[in-house]
Amino acid sequence: MKLAIVGATGMVGNEILKIIQEKNLAYSELILVASNKSKGKELIINNKSHFIIDLDEMLEKKPKLALFSAGSQISKIWAPKLAEIGCKVIDNSSYWRMVVDHKLIIPEINGAQLEKNDTVIANPNCSTIQLLIAIAPLHKKYKIKRIVISTYQSVTGTGKQAVDQLNNEEQGLAGEMAYPHPIYRNALPHIDDFEENGYTKEEMKMVNETHKILDKSIAITATAVRIPIEGGHCESVNITFSNDFIINDIYKTLNNTKGLKVVDDIHKNSYPMPINSKGKDDVFVGRIRRDHSEKNSLNLWIVADNLRKGAATNTVQIAEYMIKNDLL
């Protein structure tokens, strides 16, 4: 299997390369693709030299599977070109997520929807992935009516320029700004562009993607906030169910959910934190408690490394699912 990584030198691309080595993903040839600025750069993967090539060269090599993490415009143009030559594409950008004929996949939740004729498969937004890993089993058991989400998101979700801005500001250095305001010792209630309804694209991604993957009938509102950390994204989630629950059954359900780890012992000050999620593939949930102000309601605190499960890990897991089920 010829495997192409498009956007191999970016933050998510770097994580994809780490994960395919960790998981020993089988391929006959690894094709690393990035912008012309990185063309010719050497990367060592599995103790073997690989050189970055451009998109045209990749097309000539006719990969069987391509993992994209190079932005919406690249995905818009090049994913169909690969599909035309029989290559399957798993795309990390937002471009294909809400396109009707393209599936939006979290393997633990809806991997079974994948079929052999799927050509371009979309990877959900990082915040959506960690949210749904935690709430999908609860929806199945108690039926969710409404969700209120507040996110506290790492600068790594914006990219290297944002990480550089944070580090520069911490050190008192001048540099390029990824954000319209300082991020060091600050919090910005502004992730992605604002839409006409007053919400940002990031907030609406969580609404729309949850509807597509889980259930269109769920009422959802979100506020997304950027904070000066690098370890991962955090979410404060308030859920109202149609049916009542016993809190011990909530713990039992979450403890039995694949890809999810419960970290919740307030007597030992144990709860999920981004500093502990960094580099991990699991989603972590804690501060699990009944909301006594509203009938059939629950509070959760959900944390995950946005570059791992929120992007690279989920992408590689889709690839593994397709390989295992002979869908390439």
What pLDDT, in 10s, does the model give residues 167-207? 999 999 999 999 999 999 999 999 999 999 999 999 999 99
Do residues 129 and 109 make contact, with C-beta atoms less than 8 angstroms apart?
no
What domains appear along the chain, each with residue ranges and CATH number?
2-124+311-324 (3.40.50.720), 127-305 (3.30.360.10)
Do residues 287 and 264 make contact, with C-beta atoms less than 8 angstroms apart?
yes
Taken in order 69, 318, 260, 206, the sign of the CA dihedral is positive
Residue 239 binned pLDDT confidence (cut-offs 50, 70, 90)? very high
Residue with tokens 């507040």: 150
- Which of 255, 236, 258 lies closest to 247, judged by CA? 255
Structure tokens at 103: 């599936």
Burial 114-129 (b: 16+ CB within 10 A, else e): beeebbbbbbbbbbbb
Bridge-based pairing state of the strands 65-68 and 2-6:
parallel
Each residue's pLDDT tens digit, 252-284 = 999 999 999 999 999 999 999 999 999 999 999
What 8-state DSSP symbol labels residue 125? P
Between CA 129 and CA 151 the distance in angstroms is 13
Number of helices (H), then strands (E), in the chain: 10, 13
Q: What would the mean pLDDT of 52-68 be, rounded to a whole number?
A: 97
Each residue's pLDDT tens digit, 136-169 = 999 999 999 999 999 999 999 999 999 999 999 9
Between CA 237 and CA 194 the distance in angstroms is 22
Between CA 182 and CA 188 the distance in angstroms is 9
At residue 101, the pLDDT reads 93
Q: What would the mean pLDDT of 47-73 be, rounded to a whole number?
A: 96
- Which of 11, 115, 123, 119 lies closest to 64, judged by CA? 119
Between CA 156 and CA 162 the distance in angstroms is 7
Each residue's pLDDT tens digit, 301-320 = 999 999 999 999 999 999 99
Structure tokens at 311: 């992007």
Is the pLDDT confidence value at 43 over 90? yes
Bridge-based pairing state of the strands 297-304 and 283-290:
antiparallel
% of the chain exceeding 70 in pLDDT: 100
SS3 54: coil
Structure tokens at 45: 């993967």
Bridge-based pairing state of the strands 120-122 and 219-226:
unpaired
SS3 318: helix
Beta bridge partners of 226: 153, 188
Residue 280: count other Cβ atoms within 10 Å of its Cβ: 17
At residue 276, the pLDDT reads 96
- Which of 5, 33, 31, 29 lies closest to 19, judged by CA? 5
Q: What single letter denotes the amino acid at residue 40?
A: G
Catalytic residue positions, numbered? 126, 233
Do residues 137 and 155 make contact, with C-beta atoms less than 8 angstroms apart?
no
At residue 319, the pLDDT reads 98
Beta bridge partners of 183: none
Is the pLDDT confidence value at 231 over 90? no
